[in-house]
Amino acid sequence: MSFWERLLKIDRKIIFILMAVLVLFPLLKPLGLGVNSGPRAKAVFDAVDAIPPGKTLLISVDFDPASMPELYPMLVALMRHAFARDVKVLLCGLWITGAGLADKAVTEIPPEYGKEYGKDVVYLGWKAGVDAVILGMGENIKNVFPVDYYGHPLDSLPMMQEVVRLRDIPFMVAISAGTPGFSDWLLYGQSRYGLRVGAGVTAVSAADAYPFLQSGQLTGLLAGMKGAAEYEVLVAKNGYSKAYMPAVAAMDSQSLAHLVILILVVLGNVAFFATRMKRR
Amino acid sequence: MHISTDIWTWVAVILTFGIFSFLWKDNPFYKLCEHLFVGVSVGYTIALTWYNSVYPDLITPLFRQGKPLYIIPFVLGLFYFARFIPQASWLVRIPMGFVLGWASGVAIPAFFQTNIIKQIQGTLLTPGIFSRWDVFLWALISFIGVICSVLYFFFSREHKGALKVAADTGIVFLMIGFGASFGYTVMARMSLLIGRFQFLLRDWLGVIK
């Protein structure tokens, strides 16, 4: 058996082990390859930066634990950015399995900036019926969420005196792992109530989001773990946070893994054509 | 190195290894973790649906606050269960018809506006594209790409002559699109692996920050 034939019959377990080692190594010993922020992440950052202090940023937590490594860092970075600028944060969710994740962020992040629940941050929770939820929020948030995730009546929360409907929110970011997600916020929130929407999406759905970006429907886009890392860098660079950046820390592993996949794809193709020529 | 003493972290670690064990081959340990995942997800969904939607939005207003109008969604909801009674299964058509009618009425205009009108506007060559050379270039490429890709799916005429040239160009754009999707998919999968390794190294073993 020739070298190329052996290469084509390589056991997949060897590739798995190789990938595991390549991902583990930079996590233990960071390479410091760095992350550059692109224009799409910058657009989301600028939009959040333009919200006047005291006004509200809406974040929709439309993901589940399966997409947590890519999307949770976005949620945390966005909240840190908002709180550092005294912007209030209103959270809700269209994914039932994301309810616990938003609760985790609401519990952990506001205390870092001395922010109070009810005054600076409110988590509405999850409700069934995507279109009805968004359309209802466009009319009056209290009609859809009479109480928040923790059971407090919305009337008892000072922050909710100023945020009555979607038109009171200057910008929102839908952090989505699929459907329902940013597309539903565009469908009902933007087309009907003129809500400005930014999106943070998993890498799998990034290609679907690009057309909305080019048509101007999406203000900006954070795509996958790279998008999360870009946002973390922007928040840190502008002095809004000094906290640990999990997405940035993961980018060395990501880059190394991609490099090896590229090499394997090229080698696999060369091996395929080399063996085909030999067969002829 | 500070190994976690939290029991739930250890449970998560064991389940993570259980799922990873599939990489070697399918096995009962993997199956147990998979079924546990599905079971927990369903249980969580049922509990949250009850406490976040059904109880506060239907049971409380109807039975505790005495709002009689809520009887309508209550009965419509019960009709879904008519599926289990053959003689009354036709009743399920009523709530389904209501939901489909309402949802179509709401979704079709919004969908048309968001996914068709705005996308056509975004593709058109407008005076604004002449503001910068790079904007003009990308707008032109996007315009050609859309036209050629759509022509590739035009099957009412044989693909020959100018149509063939346009369709072949469309294939190039489609391949670039699929390539970008594939690249992003690879990134997503690697991100999930990295996320799990970060959990093992940070939350479980405590060897990274």
A135 at B interface, C-beta within 8 A:
yes
Mean pLDDT of A69-84: 97
Beta carbons within 8 Å of B137's beta carbon, 6+ residues apart = none
Give the model's pLDDT for residue B195: 94
**Cβ pair B197:A27 closer than 8 A:** yes
Note whether A135 contacts B103, CB cutoff 8 Å.
Answer: no
Provide the residue count of chain A: 280
**Which residues fall within 8 angstroms of residue A272, CB to CB, at 6 or more apart?**
A8
pLDDT for residue B206: 93
Residue A4's pLDDT band (boundaries 50, 70, 90)? Answer: confident
Strand partners, A88: A56
- Which of A17, A130, A217 is most worth mutating to test chain B (most B CB atoms within 10 A of its CB)? A217
Q: What is the pLDDT of residue A128?
A: 87
- Among A271, A249, A262, smallest CA distance to A24 is for A249
DSSP annotation of A148: -
Rounded Cα gap, residues A97 and A75, in angstroms: 15
Biggest distance spanned by C-alpha atoms of chain A: 79
pLDDT in tens, A186-200: 999 999 999 999 999
Where helices occur in chain B by DSSP H, the ranges are 7-20, 28-49, 71-79, 93-111, 118-123, 133-152, 162-198
Q: Which residue has the tokens 């035009």?
A: B154
Quick check: B120 pLDDT over 80? yes
Say which of A146, A214, A254 has its CB closest to residue B191: A254
The pLDDT assigned to B83 comes to 92
Q: For residue B106, what is the nearest residue in chain A, using CA coordinates?
A: A131
- Give exposure, B8-39, as e/b (b: 16+ Cβ within 10 Å): eeeebbebbebebbeeeeeeebbeebeeeeee
- Number of A/B CB contacts below 8 angstroms equals 133
Across the strands, what pairs with A153?
A: A147
Rounded mean pLDDT, B79-107: 93
Contact list in A for residue B177 (CB cut-off 8 A) is 207
Interface test with A, best of B190, B196, B197 (most A CBs within 10 A): B190
Residue A279, pLDDT above cutoff 80:
no
**pLDDT band at residue A86 using 50, 70 and 90 as cut-offs:** very high
pLDDT at A150 > cutoff 80: yes
Q: How far is A274 from chain B (nearest CA, A)?
A: 24
